[in-house]
A and B are shown apart, each in its own frame.
Chain A
Amino acid sequence: MPLGLLKYGLRKTYPAERQIPAAQPLRPTYDVVIIGGGGHALATAYYLARDYGITNVAVLEKGYLAGGNTARNTAIIRSNYLTPEGVKFYDMSVKLYQELSQDLDYNILYSERGHFTLAHTDAALRTSRWRAEVNKHLGVNSELIFTDDVKKLCPALNCSEDVRYPILGALYHPPGSIARHDAVAWGYARGAARRGVEIHQLTEVTEILKENGRAIGVVTNRGTIHCNKLLQAVAGSSSLVSKMAGFRLPIRTIPLQACVSVPLKPFLDQIVVSGSLHVYISQSSRGELVMGGSTDPYGVYSTRSTLDFKEGLLGHMLELLPFLGDVKLARQWAGMADMTPDFSPVMGLTPLENYYIDSGWGTWGFKATPVCGLTMSYTLANNKPHELIEPFRLDRFVNFQQVGEKGAASVGH
């Protein structure tokens, strides 16, 4: 029995601790307004307060806290990317994640499971070796392994040659982890709120106020507020919000679906991804199989679920794990993925002065949460991009300086 829980059992009344602040009126001005109340927004608010003492901050969330992609992802954390820029960035994120429970004083249930990106073709083997080599060169633990080792390390997988897409090998990334995604957002929210940041749920920005090429405030459904700096961190709606700010993003927004099974006694300790089969799967601390696939075939601003997603996903899942035929799927849902042409994010300064952006996360937003908070808070505080996100600047698309990360996508998109 951990000592931390003793007080709950021994006290007569529950020692409630308000972690998410209660609704409060909007003030007319803030130093910083953050549009969006997901993980990235809350992490940025937290580090602004913690590292720069900037606490006169309002986080504006149109729905409930962290109810967008923070609530809808499959909670996988890894840094086995392809480009040096991506690897360095996500490696920092993994390092922050590893310390996050202590840092936030809030258990995010960070769980190192080992991550396998299966290769079924020799092209996939080549990409795996490429990623492994880049990772190792930058100090990230990844290795190309072949079928025998896959079988040894992850015995649940069907490694037989007698299937449509036999497993030839895998990119094995031991630090690959999962965490309780909601807890990450709540922990940041709690930490930010304790330092004075205001969190306003059910507060939707309807207009961005500009003056002489500078952002000066926002109009919301609850009134107008002015501010010195504005950050948009609204995955799934990035293009819509940037349109209000007056500039375009090279983003296509496509639904990405996922699903979970009814809880099962743990049998799959690893995170398994197959690009050729378009599936990824891990088993959560509740015993549910958390599964996802490729993005939907067309772009649409909708989080509706489809049947064909499940049919395709489970068909492939049973290739990898044929014994799951009688296991049941409990729930499916969808999020909105902001896809960029080079599969890297768009972060940093924008054409609008005092207006900053954190967008283009595609399917990778959750794993970047801490490093986004860290680098975006630096960028806001110093009005210049943090060196880790410099390559992800918006103008790279007009300057032919893309950061080609498609090869590190878990599954085809």
Chain B
Amino acid sequence: MNMDLMTVDNLDFYYGSHRALKAVNMPVVKNAITSLIGPSGCGKTTLLRCFNRMHDLYPGNRYEGAITMRGVNILSKQEDLISLRSRLGMVFQKPTPFPMSVFDNIAYGPRLRKVKNKNILQERVEKALRQAALWDEVKDRLNDNAAGLSGGQQQRLVIARTLAVEPEVILFDESTSALDPISTQKIEELMVELKKDVTILAVTHNMQQAARVSDFTALMYLGELIEYGDTKTIFTRPKHKMTEEYVSGHFG
């Protein structure tokens, strides 16, 4: 049942000459939530951004090693980034609604893929908003500017926008750190709900969040993967001394 969708294989990442990831190895289990935790600057976000090749937007970045998905190394030069990024969606730290209506925000991805038919677009938008548990709140204001939504709603809008592209994987980059507890809880519930359809990889500063929602947890420190395992094991009897100290709040 626990099938690996992706495997990170001896991954090194360099910002110019700075080696930010050091020989990282870990699986990403399909239809599960994997959390990346660790103190600031440990490389967890850097690792996350390797999966959808966000680092390619900036010059001087270099990958070594592989992230394999269905036998293909997605870090290879031949990989088509546009298609890769539609398979691996990303939700950022702060909500990033585009300066357009709620509807146009969600329809952005499908429109990029040349979906022009009004009815199909309408269906896709509704489906994505329902999946993101936002439909009831915005169904009467689809044509309002997305900037008018609350922070938590905006973040669910961004999730819906990502879902409208129908990705296999969603990468969450500290996606609840800018939200209030109620919105955070909604997003967490949503993540658990979404497991049915997608595989989730989430970076979080909030250890409790990793404990609450994730099935697997990886602890990173100074660019290295210290320990990867079942979340229950990581939080009750970790193998590594450093994990023990980190999850009990003694460092980081």
Whether both chains belong to one complex is answered with no
